[in-house]
Structure 1
Amino acid sequence: MYVYTFLSIICTLPLALCYGNGKVTGSCGNMIPSHPASSQTSSAPYTVSVNQSSFQGGDTITVTLQGQSTAFRGFLLEAREVGGGQPVGTFSVTDSQAQLLACSGIINSAVSHTSPANKNSVKVLWKAPSSGVSKDIAFSATFVQDKVTFWVQVKSETVKFTGVPSTTTPSLPISFISSAECGNTKVCVSQPSNCNPASSSSCSFISVTAFSTNSTFLVEISGPASGYVATGFSNDQKMGNDDIYICVINGSGVQVQHAHSTGKVMPQILSQGQVSNVQSSVNNGVISCSFTSQNAITTQSRSAASNFTYYLLFASGPASGGSIKFHDNTFSSNQKVDLTNPQFLATSEPSSVKAHGALMLISWMTTGSLGMLIARYLKAATKQHRCCNKDFWFLAHLTLMVTSVIASGIAFIVIFSFAQDWSGGAHPVLGCIVMILALIQPIGAAFRCAPGNKWRFVFNWGHALNALVIKVLAVAAIFTGLGLIDNTDSRWLQKVMGGFVAWEVLCFLLYELNLRNCLKEKTERTSDSNTTEVVLLGIFFLGNIAFLVALLCGIGMS
């Protein structure tokens, strides 16, 4: 008796275990597993659900296999027309627990398990054919609890076919990655905010889908770049002690690299570890890749983290031979995020970057502009008005310009203590030139000739020309700086800055015309002409403050 039982076990064991890897194409037709038992007739403790009740040709539907109270070990999923027996459409997987099968000679027409481990939930994507479907469909799944307990063809609700899309030819997706499930099944962050990489070639995008095990997650990265796009999991908004994944062009394809950053140096490339299901593309200058990782996220000198709350960092730039170069675009999420809590995050500039931008705007678009205007046009209006044995215009000019230099110096120190590098393209170079020339101004003024000296004109012209060069370069630096922090599609901060510059040019032209007119008529200065200059100063100041406040608010919200 014992011998018979033992032989029975030996004979049936291969049948029970040979499909633990999910290679069950032999069951595609009737969806019945090759197990030594009959399917259950009771109501299945499992469900097949979909995220939409109707579809058109080419639509993508999310399908979820769910255990209500009992885990399942194996499964087989197909989509079939109602009343039909052949699979339709194609699947794609975002879950390491699932793999694609070819049923009835159709590639990717079914999904099955990858191991006999217990599963509580599996999500996959199904794409409807662009043509050839004219009926409603339903998803059918076989669930295997153990070798003798399984349910066959557990069906979803019927998904109604509503026709083909409009006759207009849709544009091809720029990336196979989409923002459609952001906030629903995955955590996302992008620049510009809330953009969709599938339809925008300027969208830099990260998404992370954490699975119930908390040790497996799906990462998607997409963005315009010449060599690579990368994401990092960080405890702050700066580089250093970050867990990084890089999608870099290497030869004719895109390679996924796992790395760790130790600061403002080349990240240390690590073993790829448990990375699977890699998909990638390079389309019109946009690099996209997705992959599943079972590597533990580690930061702080590679010590394992105790939770799944991180800042998400993005970087992109050039590469050569599979090796990344210095990045030319970066951003981070505005807050730490729990990767298991799906949401669409905003990006944010660190407070030090915002403080730098605000100080530079105040320095060279308000105090600096007022100081230059007073020195050029309001000397006569303040004639005979003195304080501390100095002309009032001179004291006002000196105070405003010293304030500009001091504020610029603080802004310079703040940004370099934060960034500690020259990232940002032309902006840091222009800023350094402005800072150097701004320091030359007070030094030159301290050693200027007396007003009656025959060489005084050299100082006057040099001082004025240097101020003009500073103003032009400062405006260029502000434009490039706003371009780095303005993450909106409309780039409205740069447009407001353009209006700001136009307003200042208009006011200076009005002052210049008024001055030329007085010189042409060779008339004595009167109280009326002085009043005109003071009124123009008031108008200039009010308009300047209005533009300044708008830009400061924009920087604060960036």
Structure 2
Amino acid sequence: MIFAPIGILIARYGRLLRIGVRQKLFGDTIWFQVHRLALSLAALVTLLGFFLILVQAQSTWVDVNSDGQLLYAHSILGVLIVCFAMTQVWMALFRCHPDGKFRFIYNWAHRTTGVLAFVLSVPTIFIVTYWLPAYHNGFVAILSLWTAWVVIVVVAFEFLEHRGKASRKLSKNHYEIRQTAYELSEIDHHQQSEAAVVENEELESNVVNKAKLILLSIHVIVSIALAIPLIVLIWQQN
């Protein structure tokens, strides 16, 4: 609920993010450092959760006849998610160079595996709430709010991404029009036109960058605010 969405969102929408004038953190781009840290933590806690379940269940598998079909489905989906998470880690460790001719294979495999793991995790969490004996309505309410919020934040980021691209395209068209006018009139306005385009792009880029940082910060706060009561409800099951 916290680490996976952050890692996915910043990889999809935050590649040009900067804090102030800084676009790098500890020698690498900010988006990549956050992406790697968030999804490494997601894989780590996923594996830890799997081991805790094995200990609790004394290494016995769910029986579809005695434990029910829902819990059995949860166990199968959970194992798939663990496998996807571990596959992501190994692919990242042995990925080819960004300029390699087979890099596109890694990129698509990395994206597909990551999206599958995240998408499957949502019904997996929902399913187990039907098996927990108490606070069912609370679980469903929290997870429904979180799912709705993820959809909202993706739509908001898509809007910002579209606005940024549209602004860059408009600035480019504006520059080309001015350049054509310069060529026709043979008046030296090239430097002024180029400077105006750069200034417009920087202004719009700063607005979009700030909006993305604010939206990402709100997402972190909302995710934590929803994850804490969920953990409390799970803890109270015992």
| Short-chain TM bin | 0.7 to 0.9
Question: 1:486–1:493: 8 Å Cα contact kept in structure 2?
Answer: no
**Is residue 48 of structure 2 the alignment partner of residue 401 of structure 1?**
no
- CA deviations 1:118-153 (Å, max 9, x no partner) are xxxxxxxxxxxxxxxxxxxxxxxxxxxxxxxxxxxx
Task: Give the 3 Å change call, closer, same or farther, for CA 457–384 of structure 1 in structure 2.
Answer: farther
**Larger Rg belongs to:** 1
- CA deviations 1:291-333 (Å, max 9, x no partner) are xxxxxxxxxxxxxxxxxxxxxxxxxxxxxxxxxxxxxxxxxxx
Structure 2 residues without counterparts, runs of 5 or longer: 63-70, 170-200
Which of 55, 71, 75 is the aligned partner of 1:417?
A: 55
SS in 1 for 2:5: helix
Cα distance in structure 2, aligned partners of 1:407 and 1:491: 26
Q: Give aligned-pair identity as a percent.
A: 25
- CA deviations 1:187-230 (Å, max 9, x no partner) are xxxxxxxxxxxxxxxxxxxxxxxxxxxxxxxxxxxxxxxxxxxx
Q: What is aligned with 1:368?
A: 4
Q: Which amino acid aligns with 1:371?
A: G
Q: What is aligned with 1:437?
A: 84
Q: Which amino acid aligns with 2:210?
A: T
Cα drift, residue 437 of structure 1: 0.5
Cα distance in structure 1, aligned partners of 2:228 and 2:25: 31
- CA deviations 1:467-489 (Å, max 9, x no partner) are 1100011111111122221424x
Q: What is aligned with 2:13?
A: 377
RMSD: 1.8
Which protein has greater RCO, CA pairs closer than 8 Å, 6+ apart?
Answer: 2
Cα drift, residue 517 of structure 1: 2.4
SS in 1 for 2:53: helix
Q: Which amino acid aligns with 1:492?
A: G
Q: Which amino acid aligns with 2:16?
A: A
Task: Give the 3 Å change call, closer, same or farther, for CA 388–542 of structure 1 in structure 2.
Answer: closer
Structure 1 residues without counterparts, runs of 5 or longer: 1-364
Cα distance in structure 1, aligned partners of 2:53 and 2:157: 36
**Is residue 162 of structure 2 the alignment partner of residue 516 of structure 1?**
yes
TM-score in terms of structure 2 length: 0.75
Task: Give the 3 Å change call, closer, same or farther, for CA 421–491 of structure 1 in structure 2.
Answer: farther
Q: What is aligned with 2:116?
A: 469
Task: Give the 3 Å change call, closer, same or farther, for CA 486–497 of structure 1 in structure 2.
Answer: farther
Q: Which amino acid aligns with 2:60?
A: D
Q: Which amino acid aligns with 1:435?
A: V
Write out the 4+ residue segments of structure 1 that deviate beyond 3 Å after TM superposition.
Answer: none
Q: What is aligned with 2:140?
A: 494
Cα distance in structure 2, aligned partners of 1:513 and 1:453: 32
Cα distance in structure 1, aligned partners of 2:36 and 2:12: 13
SS in 2 for 1:484: coil
Cα distance in structure 2, aligned partners of 1:387 and 1:519: 25
Q: What is aligned with 2:236?
A: 557
